[in-house]
Structure 1
Amino acid sequence: MGVIFMETMEAILTRRSIRKYLPDPVGRDKIEIILKAGMSAPSAGDEQPWHFIIIDRHDLLEKISEIHPYAKMLKNAPAALLVCADPEAPRFKDFWVQDCSAACENMLLAAHDQGLGAVWIGIYPAEKLVTGIRELLNIPENMIPFSAIAIGYPAEEKSGRSRYEVSRVHDNSW
């Protein structure tokens, strides 16, 4: 039986933040699909100012959860993907936040499409978190740990919910 992929809108509308995971490891093939999705995100001038660290060592996941007060789910996650930014992209230096955010969203959707649960864990711009994670993972000083995405097979189910709010839509002007 071949792989069945979700339709785009179904994936977008049903993706939820999952913070509880089964202990099963996530295969490298699935991680690479998620990374390919991240690297397929649009970026200003196609500069692709991102680098990624695959973290699947339990001791490192636990240490990150100790550094980051909102990353406690990493204690039980089989893996995480750390998105790092090179803020010195030569032509579009000030757009790396948007670029890395687009990569993160693509990765969350790809994880969901692969039957995995995932949650976005913000790191930047909290300097204490940036410094702590940089030191823990030996990230070069010129790179910025932007966010982590915890991934694993979900141990919780959350149904999609409509977030469309017509009062937030304006035609042609406010």
Structure 2
Amino acid sequence: MELQDAIRTRRMVRSFDSDRPVPAEALARILHNGTRAPSAGFSQGQAWLVLREAELEKFWQFGSDAVTDTVRTAPLVIVPFSCKRAYLDRYAQPDKGWTDRDESRWPVPFWHIDTGMAVMLQLLTAVDEGLGALYFGIVPDRVQSFKDAFGVPDDYEPIGAVAIGYDTESEKRDLRARRRPIESMVHYGMWSR
């Protein structure tokens, strides 16, 4: 599949074939491609928790508040994590020199942004593999109990979850009418009124 085709056809899928597992090769490629995302200072402060089968039932105790029941048919969920410590550690090294580890040096939390870019690569890879996917959030008041249940270290934060599987949606949503015109989003040289 060409990149433009993957971008054009990528959409959030909310219903999956629970009887068709994601092939191991597809999962390996999805995970590998996530590691190819940009990472400030090559900090690589991302990690993924891969959940299948019985692990999914446990996950849905914490993750189902943000999705419809049909999403629970996904045979695979990948939870992406960002780690601020990895960035602060990397930028405290001699070639960067921020030994004070002051977070105010960061204009935005790149640990979350870089992990989000990794997720986008994974979403596009799922499309390329002929799969559907849905990125969704974990409700904030469930995050700590989720982390405790799955033994996630304190310095790793989930930035959402990605349900993946074969798409069974009978009606594909056409969102073209709701898509903002590019002219309202792109500003050349100066922000126009």
**TM-score, with structure 2 as normaliser:** 0.78
Could you say which residue in structure 1 is the equivalent of 2:100? none
Number of the residue aligned with 2:146: 133
Counterpart among 36, 55, 63 of residue 58 in structure 2: 63
- Which position in structure 1 is the counterpart of 2:74? 77
Question: Equivalent residue for 1:100?
Answer: 115
Q: One-letter code of the match for 1:136?
A: A
Report the more deviating stretch, 132-141 or 153-162. 153-162
Contiguous gaps of at least 5 residues in structure 1: 1-5
Paired position in structure 1 for 2:42? 46
Q: CA RMSD in A?
A: 2.0
2:95 aligned partner:
none
Name the aligned partner's letter for residue 9 of structure 1.
Answer: Q
Max Rg structure: 2
Q: Give the deviation of 1:159 after TM superposition.
A: 6.3
Q: Equivalents in 2 of 1:74, 1:53: separation in Å?
A: 18
For the 8 Å contact 2:45–2:84, the answer to whether it is kept is yes
Contact 2:62 2:143 in 1 (8 A): no
**Aligned: 1:22 with 2:29:** no
Relative distance call for 1:134 and 1:65 in structure 2 (3 A) is same
Conserved? CA contact 2:16–2:71, under 8 Å = no
Which residue of the partner structure matches residue 119 of structure 1?
134
**How many residues were matched structurally?**
166
Structure 2 Cα separation of the partners of residues 74 and 64 of structure 1: 12
SS at structure 2 position matched to 1:88: helix
The residue identity in structure 2 corresponding to 1:155 is: T
- 1:3 matched to which residue of 2? none
CA distance in 2, matches of 1:114, 1:55: 19
- Which residue of 1, 5, 9 maps to 1:10? 5
Structure 1 SS opposite 2:47: strand
The letter of the residue matching 2:15 is K
Q: Amino acid of the residue matched to residue 22 of structure 1?
A: D
Q: Give the C-alpha shift of residue 73 in structure 1.
A: 4.3
Write the distance in 2 (CA, Å) between the matches of 1:22 and 1:63.
Answer: 19
| Alpha-carbon separation, structure 1, partners of 2:82 and 2:151 | 14
Structure 2: distance between partners of 1:64 and 1:101? 21
Superimposed CA distance per residue, residues 14-38 of structure 1 (whole angstroms, 9 cap, x where no aligned partner): 1010111112111111101001111
Q: Deviations over 1:76-117 (max 9, x none)?
A: 110111111221022456310101000010000000110001
The separation in 2 between residues aligned to 1:95 and 1:122, in whole angstroms, is: 18
Residue 160 of structure 1, CA deviation: 6.7
